[in-house]
Amino acid sequence: MQRLLIANRGEIARRIIRTARAMGIHTIAVHSEIDRSAPHVHDADEALLVESYLDIDAAIGAAQATGADAIHPGYGFLSERAAFAQAVEDAGLTLVGPSARVMEQMGRKDAARAIAEEAGVAVVPSYDLAADASTFDYPVLVKAAAGGGGKGMRIVRAEGEYAEALASAKREAAAAFGDDTMLIEKYVESGRHVEVQVLADSHGNVVHLFERDCSTQRRHQKVLEEAPAPTITAEQREEVTSAAVALTKQVGYENAGTVEFLLDNATGKTYFLEMNTRLQVEHPVTELVTGVDLVELQLLVASGEALPISQDDIQLDGHAIEARIYAEDSFGGFLPQAGTAELVRWPANARVDAALESGQVVSTSYDPMLGKVIAHGRDREEARRRLLAALDETAVLGFTTNVGFLRVLVATDEFRDATIDTAWLDRAEVAAPSDDLARTIAAWVPAMLAADHGDQGAFRSDGFRLSAAPAPTRVELDRVVLVDRARGLVDDVPVTQFSAANHVVRLEVAGRRVQAVVNATAHSVEVVVEGQRFVFERPDPFAGAGIAVGEGSLTAPMPGTVLAVDVAEGDAVEEGQRLGVLEAMKMELALKAPFAGTVTTVGAQAGEQVALKALLFEVTPDE
C-alpha cells in the first residue's frame, strides 16, 4: 500500500492520516465545499473536492483520479455500506475493511442476528415487524437494521406510542443510512453495553483486544466509553471475548471489527446485539490499555500481511476513559449548536483526537461530534481523575458544547462507583452548574483589562500586568457587579489572581482554585469554566427597543432545516398540536403549539434553512 485515500472527514480522517504518514503511506483527503479549509484537508498530502461524502461514485472517482491503491472509510458515512465495499472491489482497489460479502452479512443488524443464532450465540428476544403491536411485551426497542450511532432507535413503552415511534425511526434511518428497514426487540431496562474489539487477517488469525464498556449513553448515543469494562466478571469476559472470536471466524471476517453485547443486570446473561464492521469512535481507549495502534494493524491486514501479534501478546495495562465532545447544549434540551469557534483550547494532559481549531466554522450539515478527550491511568479512579482535569482544560468559545455536561457526569458518584447502566442518563436529572462562579470571573476580567490595558489589547499573548485597580469598578453584566481589585473582591467574594494570558486566567475564588478561558468584548463576556460555557451580555446604551417575542412565538432553538410545516396562517390549533418539524445534525425536533389558539404567523416553509432564534410560528391564544 503506497497511496491511501480517506473517504471521511473530521477527527477520524486526521487519526488515519497520522498513522498512515508514520508508516510512509501517501495520504489523500476528500472534502466537501463546506470543508474546504478543514483541518483534515491540511493534514493530508493532497486533497480533492467531492460533492458529498455519501457519494460512492465520487469516492471511487477520487481514488482513481489520484492514483490511490486503497481506501479507508473511517466510520460513519460509507464505512458499513456493502454497496461501497463492492464498488471498491469492482474498481480493483483495496478497502481497509471487510469484504462486501461479510459487510452485507454482519453490517446489518437483522442479518447479523441470524448468523449469531446459527452460531449458538444468545440474542435479545425480538418480534416480527408484521405482528400485532398489541401482542408485544412492552417496553420494546425499535431500531434500524442498517447503521448505528443511536440513529433510527426509539424506546416504546406502550402500544399507543408504537406507530409514531416506528414512523419517526424509519424517517431518521432513511435519512442517516438510506435504508429504513427496522427491527423490534425486547428492551432490557437495566443493562450494560459491552463490546469486544476483534482483528482478523487473511491468514486465518483472529485476536480480541478485550472489551470496552459503553453503558453511559443518552438515547442510545454513546457519551463516555471505557476499557476494560469496570464491573464485568472473569466468566462474563471469557464468554463475550470467546463468542466474539468465534463469530468473527465463522463469518470469515478480515480487518478490525467490534462485536457488541448487552449484559442484563437482572439476570447476568449476555446477549449479542450486532457487529460493527469498521473502526469504532471509541477505539482510542482500547489502544491506550493494550498499546496497540489499531489503524496500523488495519493497514497491514489490508495490505495482505499477517497480524504481527498473537492473543498471548495482548495484555491489559491500566484503564482508559473517553469523553465525546459535541456541539450541543446539553443543559438546553441537547439541541445541536453551530457557529464559529472563536477560541479552542484542548488539554495537554490527555490524548485528544479532534478536528476543531480556533476560527473554524461548525455547520449543521454534519454530525455534531467535534472530537474526543481520552485519559489513561493505572486504574479506573486515576483515569477518571485525569479525565476530570483534562475536561477542566478543554474550552470552546463561540458556541456551546457538552464539555461541562461531561465533566458533571464524570464527577458523579454513580460514574465514580460504576453503578450505571444504559438507561442511566435517560432517567437521571443532571443539574446545570450554577453561573455564580462564572459571573465572578466575568466581572473580574473586564475590570482587570480596564486597569491594565485600558480598552486595548485584551488578552494579548504577552500577558497582563498585575497592577491593582486604584478604585472599585462597576461592571455591568446581567446585573451590576462591584469589583474591588485592590482588596481582591467581587461583590464581597474574595478573588486572588495567579496568572492571565492568551485568554486563560487562573484564579482562586472563595478559596477554590479555578482556571477559565475568557473573551471579553464591549458587548459581552464569554466564560468557560470547568468545561461549561456562560455568556453575560453587557448592556448597549444605544440599543433601541426591539420587537418583543410573545409567549405564543416559537423560534428556532437551533439552526437547521425545516422538514415539515403542518399548519397555515389562520388555522385553529389545539395545545400540543404539532406545527412543524426542524432538523439539524440528524436530529429531529417537533415544534408544538404552546396552547390552543389561532396560527397568526408561519415564518418558514419546508426545506428552508433557518438561523438560530428565527421566528417560525406564532399562535394567538383563544380568548
| Active site (catalytic) residues | 278
Say if residue 336 is preceded by a cis peptide, omega within 30 of 0: no
CB atoms within 10 A of CB 446: 23
Q: Where are the beta strands (DSSP E) in 124-283?
A: 126-127, 140-144, 153-156, 182-186, 191-200, 206-218, 221-227, 255-264, 270-276
Amino acid at 9: R
Radius of gyration of the chain (CA): 26
CA-angle at 201, arms to 195 and 204, nearest 5° = 100
| Nearest CA among 224, 235, 229, 220 for reference residue 185 | 220
Q: List strands edge to edge, sheet with 512-520.
A: 473-476, 480-484, 489-490, 493-501, 504-509, 512-520, 524-529, 532-537
CB 445 within 8 A of CB 505: yes
C-alpha cell at 422: 444504559
CA 232 to CA 27: how far, in whole Å? 40
62 contacts: CB under 8 Å, gap ≥ 6: 5, 7, 28, 30, 48, 50, 68
CB 366 within 8 A of CB 360: no
DSSP H stretches of helix in 121-158: none
- What are the angstrom distances between the C-alpha of 286 and each of 18, 83, 91, 217, 317? 17, 29, 33, 18, 10
Say what the alpha-carbon torsion angle 213, 218, 221, 226 is, to the nearest 10 degrees: -20
C-alpha cell at 293: 495502534
Partnered with residue 514 across adjacent β-strands are 507
Distance separating the N- and C-terminal Cα atoms of the chain: 73
CA 384 to CA 390: how far, in whole Å? 10
Helix or strand or coil: residue 322? strand
CA 618 to CA 179: how far, in whole Å? 35
CA-angle at 219, arms to 595 and 554, nearest 5° = 25
Task: For the chain, give the number of residues.
Answer: 623
CA 217 to CA 227: how far, in whole Å? 15
CA-angle at 570, arms to 567 and 575, nearest 5° = 60
C-alpha cell at 39: 483541518
CA 550 to CA 592: how far, in whole Å? 15
Q: What does DSSP assign to residue 45?
A: S
CA 338 to CA 368: how far, in whole Å? 9
CA 353 to CA 359: how far, in whole Å? 18
